[in-house]
Structure 1
Amino acid sequence: MIQIRRYSPLDHDDVWRIHLLVISEANVEPTHQHYHDILNIPEQYLHTGGEFLVGIGDNGVVFAMGGLKIISEGKAEIKRLRVHPSFQKKGYGQLILSKLELRAQELGIQHLILDTLSNQYGAQKLFEKNGYKQQGPAIIDGFNVVLYEKKLA
């Protein structure tokens, strides 16, 4: 069972732990400066009109997360979609993504973008299944990524 709710500063340690686990599995240095936003979720997401959700198990521990970062009027980015490795491939990433897309629509967002590491094939499959169109490879802060975009109705 999963409860999805808005991030609270009390979730900080759990969110950081999940980030470290997921990014380490992708063979990336998880403390790279590229990830500064995850240390400042209220300022980077919530105070700027976006959203950051966490998924919590029956034991009260956060095991999934994802953010919606406003870029400009009508445009936002899905960021930091992560599921603890022990809980992957159970539909939790899909649940967080769906809730973030719903929130984007509520905020009047018509255009979503995101990127994922080029070696995160599960994430790529999830995004493509949800209608995100691949925009090609890119290098962001030294990381090989795949760019995606989706137009919302």
Structure 2
Amino acid sequence: MSDVHELMVAVDLRDEITEGELAELRWHLGIGGRPERLSVVTRFPVVVWDEEGDPVIEEDPRPLLAGRGAAARVGGALCSALESRADLPRRGWALTSRQEIHPDEFEKVGELLGWLAARAHETHRRGDGAVGVGFLRFHEADVPEVLTVEGGQVGWPG
């Protein structure tokens, strides 16, 4: 049995994002190269084994929402987009991403979602202070759950 979930992120971001942050965001979405300096999600620790067989922690930066092509478990296609809202009343950036995600990835992806929520337009804020950033659906479920960020923490279901 698989623990894969469908992650759908849809958020409008304010226009105060720096060029460096935009470059990193594009990298995370799979629509740009990796910037030299990471400032949005800065740590990507993984355990590897050295020549003596001892565990060592190394950094392995990887884009978090860059899946493309046919989805293996949730159906449909994996994709990400970032579009300027410069000519619209709510200036900034429109971001959409549809990915397959395993619970082992929740923490790292949660860092990025927390960063996005902090920069989301007010229209994404609910009355209780939480920020709606999208939906999460277990691959065998029919109905997704609303995904929110409150106090910088993602409310992962389950």
**TM-score, normalized by length of structure 2?**
0.34
Larger relative helix fraction: 1
Higher relative contact order (CA 8 A, sep 6+): 2
**TM-score, normalized by length of structure 1?**
0.35
User: Which of these two proteins has the greater Rg computed from alpha carbons?
Assistant: 2
